[in-house]
Amino acid sequence: MRRSINILKINPKLVLIVCLVPVFFLSLSCKTYKTFKINVLEPAEIIVPQNIKHILIAPNNKLHSNGLTYEFYDEKYIDTSFNQKEYIGATIETLADMISYNPRFTTTTIESLEIALPVLPEEITNRDVNYLKQLCEEHQADAIVILAKTEKQVGYSKYYGHFGGYFSMITIIYNTRWMFINPFAPIMIDHKNIRDTLYYRVGGIYGTLDPEFYQFVGELMMETTDYVASDYGMRITPHFAETQRIVFNKGDKYLKKGFSEAESGNWVKASEIWQKTLSYNNPVIVSRGAFNIALSNEMEGNLKLAADWAEVSYDIFPDIINKTYLDILQERIRQQDDLMKQMDGP
pLDDT in tens, 22-60: 444 333 345 899 999 999 999 999 999 999 999 999 999
Averaged pLDDT for residues 104-113 = 96
Q: What is the predicted pLDDT for the residue at 130?
A: 97
Rounded Cα distance, 168 and 155, in Å? 10
Specify the pLDDT at position 30: 59
Compute the mean pLDDT over every residue in the chain, rounded to the nearest whole number: 88
Mean pLDDT of 183-188: 97
pLDDT value for 66: 67
Lowest mean pLDDT of 11-15, 141-145, 175-179, name the range: 11-15
Confidence bin at 218 (pLDDT 50/70/90): confident
Could you give the count of Cα atoms lying within 13 Å of 37 in the half-sphere of its Cβ? 11
What average pLDDT does this structure show over 198-218? 84
- At 343 the pLDDT is 86
For residues 239-253, give the mean pLDDT.
95
Best CA proximity match to 141, nearest among 99, 169, 178, 170: 99
Distance CA 38, CA 12 (A): 13
Tell me the average pLDDT across 56-70.
83
Flag whether pLDDT at 8 surpasses 80.
no
Entry pTM: 0.80
Interval 283-327: pLDDT, tens: 999 999 999 999 999 999 999 999 999 999 999 999 999 999 999
Name the CA radius of gyration of the chain, rounded.
Answer: 25
Identify the pLDDT of residue 14: 29
Most confident of 82-86, 114-118, 120-124, 304-308: 304-308
> Which of the listed ranges 52-66, 146-160, 191-205, 266-280 does the model predict with the highest average pLDDT?
266-280
Cα 255 from chain centroid?
33
Q: Does residue 235 surpass a pLDDT of 80?
A: yes
In the chain, the domains with their CATH numbers are 13-43+243-344 (1.25.40.10), 54-237 (3.30.160.150)
Residue 56 phi/psi, 5-degree rounding, is -90, 140
Angle formed by the axes of helices 283-299 and 303-316, nearest 10°: 170
Alpha carbon distance 72, 155 (integer Å): 6
Per-residue model confidence (pLDDT) at position 65: 66
Residue 274's identity, in one-letter code, is: W
Nearest to 91 by CA among 15, 136, 147: 147
CA distance 291 to 322: 7
Q: Looking at residues 61-65, what average pLDDT do you find?
A: 72
- Whether 99 contacts 342, CB under 8 Å: no
Please give the pLDDT value at position 4: 36
What's the N-to-C CA distance of the chain in angstroms?
Answer: 54
User: Is residue 42 a contact partner of residue 335, using CB atoms and an 8 Å limit?
Assistant: yes
- Pairing label, strands 54-59, 143-160: parallel
pLDDT at residue 345 in the model: 54
Alpha-carbon distance 87 to 3, whole Å? 22
Distance of CA 132 to the CA centre of its chain: 29
The residue-averaged pLDDT of 59-68 equals: 78
